């Protein structure tokens, strides 16, 4: 449930004023009818979600990756990554059965160009959601400088142009000055236990 700023302030005032004037919270909080709320959630038909920026494919894509949501194996070294999110259309409606085609480098910055390591395709569920288990990619040299850690993604949804993009990790010192990074593709992330958690919603 969304609460508008005005609605929140009104509710907070109603809660605090009796306490300030009488020094007690004993009075019940007055009921605020929904009609008093000046703004409600934006109707879906008017909602606009900006399309996700595209980004270069790079030289290491291979089509035909196996269908799986866990890209990492027990043999792979590196910090584990849990990446979740939703695929939406530009009206902010979830897209089920969208395909995500993912590939990224290992912890040392190398791609598996012979096999299918750290590559996979998966399908969004009925609510447009996906959940991927992998590892935090390493950086690799591109000419004279390292590219920031990134995850390559292609998103395919029926009736829409294919999106090719990359996701980056907030705080990566190599983001600054990288010629390909787009700000909107930088993910917030947090560590829980031994796993790095990040989320990203694709809009196509």
Min dist. Cβ of residue 160 to Fe ion (A): 24
Count the residues of the shown chain that bind Fe ion, applying the rule CB under 5 A: 1
- Dihedral angle sign, alpha carbons of residues 184, 104, 71, 107: negative
**CB-based burial of residue 190 (10 Å sphere; 0-12 exposed, 13-18 middle, 19+ buried)?**
exposed
Provide the β-strand partners of residue 198.
Answer: 83, 189
Cβ(98)–Cβ(156) below 8 Å:
yes
CB burial of 59-74 (b: ≥16 within 10 Å; e: otherwise) equals eeeeeebeeebebbee
Q: Which stretch binds Fe ion (CB under 5 A): 37-45, 51-59, 157-165, 167-175?
A: 51-59
Q: With respect to Fe ion, which residue has the nearer C-beta, 95 or 181?
A: 181
Min dist. Cβ of residue 186 to Fe ion (A): 15
Min dist. Cβ of residue 110 to Fe ion (A): 10
Based on the shown chain and the rule CB under 5 A, indicate whether residue 110 belongs to the binding site for Fe ion. Answer: no
Based on the shown chain and the rule CB under 5 A, indicate whether residue 109 belongs to the binding site for Fe ion. Answer: no
Among 11, 58, 94, 109, binds Fe ion (CB under 5 A): 58
SS3 call for 185: helix
Q: With respect to Fe ion, which residue has the nearer C-beta, 89 or 106?
A: 106
The rounded distance, in Å, linking the Cα atoms of 158 and 105 is 28
What residue number has its CB nearest to Fe ion? 58
Min dist. Cβ of residue 166 to Fe ion (A): 7
Binding site for Fe ion (CB under 5 A): 58
């Amino acid at each position: 449930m969304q609460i508008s700023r005005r609605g929140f302030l009104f509710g907070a005032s109603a809660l605090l004023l009796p306490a300030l004037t009488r020094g007690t919270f004993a009075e019940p909080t007055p009921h605020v009818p929904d009609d008093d709320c000046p703004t409600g959630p934006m109707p879906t038909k008017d909602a606009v979600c900006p399309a996700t920026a595209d980004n270069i494919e790079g030289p290491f894509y291979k089509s035909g990756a196996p269908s799986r949501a866990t890209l990492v194996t027990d043999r792979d070294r590196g910090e584990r990554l849990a990446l979740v999110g939703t695929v939406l259309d530009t009206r902010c409606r979830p897209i089920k059965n969208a395909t995500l085609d993912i590939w990224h480098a290992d912890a040392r910055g190398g791609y598996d160009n012979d096999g299918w390591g750290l590559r996979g395709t998966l399908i969004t569920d009925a609510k447009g959601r996906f959940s991927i288990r992998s590892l935090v990619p390493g950086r690799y040299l591109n000419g004279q400088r390292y590219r920031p850690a990134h995850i390559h993604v292609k998103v395919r949804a029926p009736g829409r142009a294919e999106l090719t993009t990359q996701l980056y990790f907030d705080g990566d010192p190599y983001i600054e000055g990288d010629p390909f990074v787009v700000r909107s593709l930088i993910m917030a992330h947090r560590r829980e236990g031994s796993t790095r958690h990040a989320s990203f919603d694709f809009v196509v």
